[in-house]
Structure 1
Amino acid sequence: MSSLDKRGLKERLTAGENVLVAEGYLFEFERRGYLKAGAFVPEVVLKHPDLVRSLHEEFVHAGSDVVLAFTYYGHREKMRLIGKEDLLEPLNVGALRIAREVADKTGTLMAGNICNTTIFQRGDKEAVAKTRAMFKEQIEWAVQEGADFIVAETFSELGEAKVALEAIKEYGKGLPAVVTLAPQATDKTYDGVPMGEACRQLEEGGADVVGLNCHRGPKTILPLMTEVRRACKGPIACLPVPYRTFEECATMQSLKDPITGRREFPVDLPAHLCSRTEIGEFARACRAMGVQYAGLCCGNSSHFMRVLAEGYGRSPPSSKYSPDMSQHYVFGSDPSFKKYYQEGLIETVSLNNKV
């Protein structure tokens, strides 16, 4: 993407372009030892802002068109749970400023981010009001710090997603809204609405992009995306987790150790990571389906993002270092030492098979 490209999200999508988005900051910083699994609060923004900046840059290098401010689970309720509600505004403003800085530097878009509040309860007026108030303050900070659009994500209830969309429309000063639902083991939202129909309602409610993110891996999210594509007229989004979910274990939360039967979420999920080949296949399937807003969620890393970008026909800067096995001393095409090492490899494989 050119650093001179000043077009917004809607302009790019209207022109028929695809927008690729790297998510997954929570899991990546937990893996690196800068964030605690369980609470999953992005305190790293305050303690190590340089690392957040670096990961933004790494994802852009790998092909992301968007720098998503790391405010996921940085909302009032999560901060209250860890006793640091007084740091709510510094965390949000800090994350937004880092994202804006990187977006300006790299010529990408910057998105503000709101998500499931963990307190929403349908039919409970007080809970709904608190949910709306939490969205309001985060949206207003995003507007203040120059976000290009707002992402509202990982909602298992259509009702909460609608509250988020209404808040963006009321407090977002006209910024575009991307709203995505998080499908659980069933094909409906918690409030009983099929995913395609739920996305259609959000689209009709004024969301500029609708779709699905998180919980499900590529294999179990794509069938639902077919429903979303059929139900919606405008741009659709798909951002699964990069884990090998399947019919019996449709979500990452339901994946189990094949030997012990123990639940793997969250710390042992790497045992279920997709291959790069599978991510490439997912990207090509999304592109063929007409998914214009695509990415990966929890478990994402820059090498996956590069493969996804390449699946969309891109060559991001990191593609300079995409694998080229022709240069490998055993499997490559250079005749130097090739026969010697291949014979040794064949002998080793033969011995292993006899054990």
Structure 2
Amino acid sequence: NKVRDINRAAVRLAREVAGDRALVAANLSLTWMFDPKDKGSADKVRRLFDEQLEAQLQEGPDFVIAETFSWLGEALLAMERMEKTGMPSMVTMSFDKDPKSYDGYSPAECARALRDAGADIVGVNCLRNPLLLLPLAREMRQAVTGFVACQPTAYSTPPDVPDFTATKEFPYETETLVLSRKVMGAFAAEARAAGINYIGSCCGSMPVHVREMARALGKAPVDRTWRVDYAKPMSAYEFYKHGT
């Protein structure tokens, strides 16, 4: 059983990379075992969450995230277990074509339920792109007074197929759906203007997306600096833009 080793290693490696420059989160996600029709499934899910949390907390994370839940019931179980840690917590829901949880709750209802359960941050993540996810985050923003998160995918999907996992390109051709860095930067600025407090990204997001989002939020230099010797161009860009 490598569950404990993998969970500890995940937090430890994140800490090694982050150092003292960024916060490190422990993480829970959907288990694929939750079934509201099976009375025993809740206890199975609790045991899985407890095992992961126990291992991750040994590496000293700063807060705990539970993400990508389609069942509000499972998200509430995650919050129940996280609350026992006494650490700051964030829980995010995922919505596919029907902007309701699998147990029938709207984004606003999910936000209120999770906030009432003790979540410090509530929000949405995954499945949808910025254009289709931000409206759901706005709905949560209007429903609660606490912190709200929005972490969309970096994939372009049509309104009638908002979930990238439901596209014909999933899973082996999703690179054809990747959004530009400018789109993700524009999302970050729009999310902040909408009162979203925790702004990030999810599947399909790459360093160039995160960097552009950071620029849009004033967390990275606006001007791009090339670390090259323009007197000795080594690319067409350098030659034509800066060559003599």
Tell me which residue corresponds to 2:107.
195
Tell me which residue corresponds to 2:5.
90
Looking at structure 2, the residues matched to 153 and 321 of structure 1 have their Cα atoms a distance apart, in angstroms, of: 37
1:142 offset after TM fit, Å? 2.1
Shift in CA distance, 145/317, structure 1 to aligned 2, threshold 3 Å: farther
Tell me which residue corresponds to 2:127.
215
Q: 1:245 aligns with which of 157, 160, 165?
A: 157
Looking at structure 2, the residues matched to 309 and 188 of structure 1 have their Cα atoms a distance apart, in angstroms, of: 30
Does the residue aligned with 2:24 lie in a helix, a strand or coil? strand
Matched residues, number: 235
Which runs of no fewer than 5 residues in structure 2 stay unpaired?
228-236
Does the residue aligned with 1:266 lie in a helix, a strand or coil? coil
1:188 offset after TM fit, Å? 0.5
1:319 offset after TM fit, Å? 5.5
1:254 offset after TM fit, Å? 2.4
Tell me whether 1:235 sits opposite 2:147 in the alignment: yes
Contact kept? 1:219, 1:244, Cα under 8 Å: no
Residues 306-330 of structure 1, C-alpha deviation per residue, up to 9 Å, x if partnerless? 01111112216996459xxxx7544
Does the residue aligned with 1:125 lie in a helix, a strand or coil? coil
Contact kept? 1:203, 1:210, Cα under 8 Å: yes
Looking at structure 1, the residues matched to 218 and 9 of structure 2 have their Cα atoms a distance apart, in angstroms, of: 34
Looking at structure 1, the residues matched to 57 and 3 of structure 2 have their Cα atoms a distance apart, in angstroms, of: 16
Tell me which residue corresponds to 2:214.
309
Tell me which residue corresponds to 1:148.
62
Tell me which residue corresponds to 1:21.
none
Tell me whether 1:288 sits opposite 2:203 in the alignment: no
1:303 offset after TM fit, Å? 0.8
TM-score, structure 2 as length reference: 0.90
Looking at structure 2, the residues matched to 234 and 274 of structure 1 have their Cα atoms a distance apart, in angstroms, of: 30
Residues 213-259 of structure 1, C-alpha deviation per residue, up to 9 Å, x if partnerless? 0000111111111211111111100111101122111111122xxxx
Looking at structure 1, the residues matched to 164 and 118 of structure 2 have their Cα atoms a distance apart, in angstroms, of: 30
Shift in CA distance, 321/253, structure 1 to aligned 2, threshold 3 Å: farther
Looking at structure 1, the residues matched to 223 and 63 of structure 2 have their Cα atoms a distance apart, in angstroms, of: 26
Looking at structure 1, the residues matched to 130 and 224 of structure 2 have their Cα atoms a distance apart, in angstroms, of: 22
Contact kept? 2:3, 2:52, Cα under 8 Å: no
Q: Percent identity?
A: 38
Tell me which residue corresponds to 1:133.
47
Does the residue aligned with 2:200 lie in a helix, a strand or coil? strand
1:273 offset after TM fit, Å? 0.8
Shift in CA distance, 300/123, structure 1 to aligned 2, threshold 3 Å: same
Looking at structure 1, the residues matched to 82 and 239 of structure 2 have their Cα atoms a distance apart, in angstroms, of: 55
Tell me which residue corresponds to 1:99.
14
Residues 159-184 of structure 1, C-alpha deviation per residue, up to 9 Å, x if partnerless? 000000001012x1x10111000111
Shift in CA distance, 289/321, structure 1 to aligned 2, threshold 3 Å: farther
Looking at structure 1, the residues matched to 59 and 65 of structure 2 have their Cα atoms a distance apart, in angstroms, of: 15
Tell me which residue corresponds to 1:340.
none
Contact kept? 1:179, 1:211, Cα under 8 Å: yes
Tell me which residue corresponds to 1:160.
74
Which runs of no fewer than 5 residues in structure 1 stay unpaired?
1-85, 256-262, 337-355
Tell me which residue corresponds to 2:34.
120
Tell me which stretches of 4 or more aligned residues in structure 1 moved more than 4 Å.
316-322, 327-330
Shift in CA distance, 318/175, structure 1 to aligned 2, threshold 3 Å: farther
Does the residue aligned with 2:118 lie in a helix, a strand or coil? coil
Contact kept? 2:215, 2:222, Cα under 8 Å: no
Looking at structure 1, the residues matched to 56 and 141 of structure 2 have their Cα atoms a distance apart, in angstroms, of: 29
Equivalent position amino acid for 2:190 in 1: A
TM-score, structure 1 as length reference: 0.63
1:100 offset after TM fit, Å? 2.3
Q: 2:169 aligns with which of 264, 267, 284?
A: 264
Looking at structure 1, the residues matched to 87 and 152 of structure 2 have their Cα atoms a distance apart, in angstroms, of: 24
Shift in CA distance, 240/321, structure 1 to aligned 2, threshold 3 Å: farther
Which structure carries more helix by proportion?
Answer: 1
Give the root-mean-square deviation of aligned CA atoms.
2.0
Looking at structure 1, the residues matched to 204 and 88 of structure 2 have their Cα atoms a distance apart, in angstroms, of: 26
Does the residue aligned with 2:50 lie in a helix, a strand or coil? helix
Looking at structure 2, the residues matched to 294 and 318 of structure 1 have their Cα atoms a distance apart, in angstroms, of: 22
Equivalent position amino acid for 1:117 in 2: T
Shift in CA distance, 303/125, structure 1 to aligned 2, threshold 3 Å: same
Larger radius of gyration: 1
Does the residue aligned with 2:25 lie in a helix, a strand or coil? strand
